[in-house]
Amino acid sequence: MTNKDVGTPSLLNRLVSLTTIRDIELFELSLLKTLAELLKVNQISMYKLNPDNKTCWLSAYSAKLIEDGNKRQLSESQEIYTSEIIIPDEIRSAQLWVETTKKPYIHLQSEKFLVIYPVLAASKIESMLTFELPHMLTEGEMLIITSLLSITHNFRSLLDESQKDKLTGLLNRQTFEANINKISSLILNAELGRYQDTSNRNRRRPKTGTEKFCLAIIDIDNFKSINDKFGHVMGDEVLLLLSYVMKQNFRSKDLLFRFGGEEFVVIFHAPDQADAYQILERFRTKIETYRFPQINTITVSIGATLISGMCHLASEILGRADQALYYAKHNGKNQLHFHEILLESGCIEDNKESGSIDFF
């Protein structure tokens, strides 16, 4: 491929198309698809490195021609963050090579060249792009990659900034609705997919053991008294440190929001309620024992609920967690309660309108 293979108007059109996207995960997948089309490769992957530098999240885009008799069609397989995996040895070696030589990693294997290209953020490797070519990477192809990554990096920085809370760096409230709706749709579609035809019109009941997501609202106890006693500067310091502990306690792909004031929301994957409870209780204990400058200690109250196909409306999910939070705040504070457990024990009634949060 030469520079003439991909003209400037074509590249600009791709960039215009990319920069109309406001969803970061969709943006990343579209970037992979655009690179695959411009480089004329069937498959391209991105290994997004976690801060621990031990695990990563894998994204992949593939497009292959399938022949069915006389028909030829393009089949696209798109996956976003399919799983969190241990960084493969080859990616680890490529990372070391790039850090040492400041050049992409290129390795000939099975008559094809494996290319592993770094994606930088603040002069640090954030992700590794991988694809195969039947030839050495040309100057024209390198220009395509570097140009696209440079411009899209700047755009993503702006996109990140618009979606982040300015004080804590967590996701802001405006991004909540899109994220919760995406997860709700994912779960609902997965549960509907569990119904399978057995004999024409007959369907099986859903299998048990469906994986779940958990939503929790975290509220700092007596935060007003902290501001009154120590001032708003120290109050902001508490918010910053609490958000720091959140980032340390939860995984990099968990969704962490500052919802307003002293209230935070977290959405994370959990195989069951017991696992979700353990994760949140560990965080509550961590905050209880954390030493905040001047203030010494603070506590948080947490209300949580599981996201399922039976409860998939954003306002309803939030309302259930808020009802559990209200119970925690009015029964001693520094507690974690799940809506489902409170409901089963008769401590609360199932009132869908009980959520006190003004949802948008």
Among candidate residues 79, 278, 265, 85, the one with its CA nearest the CA of residue 186 = 79
For residue 61, the Cα-to-chain-centroid distance in whole angstroms is: 18
Q: Distance (Å, rounded) from C-alpha 303 to C-alpha 307? A: 13
Q: Distance (Å, rounded) from C-alpha 259 to C-alpha 176? A: 9
Quick count: other Cβ atoms within 10 Å of Cβ 158? Answer: 10
- C-beta separation of 235 from 224 below 8 A: no
Known active-site residue 262: yes
- The three-class DSSP label of residue 55 is strand
Q: Which of 67, 90, 262, 281 is flagged as catalytic? A: 262
* DSSP result, 95-147: HHHHHHHSS-EEEEETTEEEEEEEEEETTEEEEEEEEEESSPPPHHHHHHHHH
Q: Distance (Å, rounded) from C-alpha 331 to C-alpha 333? A: 6
Strand partners, 219: 263, 301
Q: Distance (Å, rounded) from C-alpha 184 to C-alpha 190? A: 10
H-helix or E-strand spanning residue 159: helix 139-163
Matching residue, tokens 């028909």: 71
Q: Distance (Å, rounded) from C-alpha 41 to C-alpha 37? A: 7
Beta strands 336-338 and 300-307, pairing class: parallel
DSSP state of 314: H
Active site amino acids: 262
